[in-house]
Structure 1
Amino acid sequence: MPKPMTHRPHPWQAYNLRGSPYFQDSLSRNARNTSLSLFVGRQRELRKLLIRIEGSLTGSRQAVAGRPGIGKNTLVEAVKAEARDAGYWVAPKSIALTPEAGSLDLLGQVHSGVYGAVTASCANASGPVVETAQQLVTSFRLHGGGLTVGALGFSGGGSRSEGVSQPPSALLLDGPRVLHNLLGHALAQGARGVLLHLNNLENISTEHARKAADKLRAVRDQALVLEGLHVIVVGTTDAVCTAVLRHPQVRSVFSEPLVLDSLSLLEVEHLLQKRYEALQLDAGGPQPASVDAAVIQELYGLFRGDLRAMLRALEDGIVELLITDQHQTTAPGSLAPISRDALFTVLHRFHQVELKRQLGSTMWKRLEAWAAKDAAAPQSQKQLQKIWKLSQPAVSQILQDPGIIVAVEALPRHGNDPIQYLLTGAARLALLDP
């Protein structure tokens, strides 16, 4: 006879919570613990994006930009939920603008996104238009995203490295027709439009951002400007601005990118309070905070508004402390807040080990030299040359290495001024003396 299942006490039960209030997932409408009811701030930006969608009778193309981790995708999830309530059909998944994929892959993903919006929003999605779109999407998915064009139209196969310059002429003729008909079908069924979310323009090189710009230019007439289609592109500021402003053909059909500021400290505190309340196990029980407000304030300053990284640090550090034997035996809801020194000691040790492992001893010594100069101050490549005693090409190569993003963040460029670089919050935690 099998033994009855036993449930191990959840570490967050010590704070009368059914889960971590420091989760980093984007909010979504139907999620229990990450519901959009926890959305905080951004009301002005939310209304601005929605007004542009609802104010266009033919379609819209917008971009949301900002530093990593400040809530860009969560804002777009809120826009999608509001748009869905207003009668727009929304693609269930976002579309990844990956650098290795070609323009035909992007075109295929747009088809898949619109088809997904139609089938998710219309219970009786059928007829020749839907069936033709289904055949195209099935072929695209079965062959790993690549598309070729046979004598009778679309067929599977093809290369994922298709360039952006000259897509096959049959695709130029048939692709827009299939997509146009599918969008027309959605509008005829009562949809006010179809909304797509293009993502993944974050922590990428200038070269990859330019490739994204080329892909958007290549599919502009075939997809982006078709009647009934609304597109929101999301990513870090420099990447998004490069993608949508580099080519005049794309710039002319996109609204000016909406660049987000970080949530204020007051908004972050409100966000955490809403999460504590939503995740409470016993509504009548005690609700102790896991850390004092002063700790939140200090981490907010260290991470400079990078909410995702700050929440990850809080979760990593607190969980490490909660799983000790001392806390396992504590009655639910009876723990005092974790002290600043205990939390920062754990985070310092954790991030130092991780950065040394990921970057190696040589790069770690360079970070130490930077921190000794001024860990909080931005530095240009010229200044880093002096700190690291390296040539300009060597410094440039280091800063272009994708692995360096765990420790160094490039700030958005202003005009022709040199790019400024900052140590990330994780790097500063690793380098500080707790």
Structure 2
Amino acid sequence: MRNPLSEKIVQVEPSGIRKFFDVANEMKDAISLGVGEPDFDTPWRIREEGIYSLERGRTFYTSNAGLQELKDEICKYINRKVHVAYDSKHETIVTVGGSEAIDIAFRAMLDPGDEVLIPQPSYVSYVPCAFMADGVPVPVELKAENDFKLTVKALEAVTTPKAKILVMPFPNNPTGAIMTKEDLEPIVEFVLEHDLFVLSDEIYSELSYQGEHVSIASFPGMKERTLLINGFSKGFAMTGWRLGYVCGPQIIVEQMLKMHQFAIMCAPTNSQYAAVEGLRHCEDEVVKMRDAYNKRRRFLMHEFQRMGIECFEPFGAFYVFPSIREFGMKSEEFATRLLMEEKVAVVPGTAFGACGEGFLRISYAYSLEDLKEALGRLETFINRLRAEKTS
């Protein structure tokens, strides 16, 4: 019998995040700090609207690009948040999460051999999605000494004439790094000079703890070469509702819509009605959740400092990315031993790119009680490791 599998798909590695989560899920009394999912319930007004839409029988397909009412609210939201005006009819698609938007963006824009510049450590989907779209993923190393910000120097080291798309994953998963207006200015110059397009993944833009989030699309000359991707999973605590969106140049969005039509049809209808309510009335709830995350972030930073664990201070998302280099072991070994010996699940930094070696991703999308218990177990573990080194 002939091989039923695509050679390309066989080459794609499964996500390194789920491995530790799945083991912890089967382990009694384990605490998982590995999954990037808000621990808050979706705000009640959003849930109520979702229920109401079902009760009203709103269970039919919407237009492929999404409810016009929702697209209008998305464009209003973006305009007031990052000051970029989009046409809701021709420059906006409602997608099944931000991940679908990433996938169809690459497939709409890449020809075989086109290079995609991907800052790393970063979200696990960029590399496989670029590869599956016949692009060539090119890692751009982000360094702790630069607070994991993207620099022109790092881009210059890897950019070739084949480069077409630059991924901008800020606020960043897994590091929590952000890019300020001053940080973005030289990147914009580089993009314009090299005639690049930008995929700006702003799914964590609501979770910024050092002033307002700045979108690269807001700079002169950038709207027409940027796809702005966002969604409701993180900021609005709507992971299971599977709802995202993309705004960008009509010439690109029209081609993305074709793939969305054939593969997806439309995003879930009741989720779309619920999201309208969220954008209109739940920004205060988003702020409350952000404030709670910020308290947890400050707690973790305080505890790491007390324990002598090196960690740059993140100002976005809900992750910290501490260094474990002092212990002289690989990230995966450290994470495995921590899980088996102390029943705490974290994600090795290498799940987000080879340059994540020597780091761990710890999510603080968990209650303070869980974080305190987990940090206590972590302290026991590292004290044991330090004792082993000196004995």
Scaled to the shorter chain, the TM-score interval is under 0.3
TM-score by length of 1: 0.24
TM-score with structure 2 length normalisation? Answer: 0.26
Q: Which has the higher helix share?
A: 1
Structure number with the bigger relative contact order (C-alpha 8 A, sep ≥ 6) is: 2
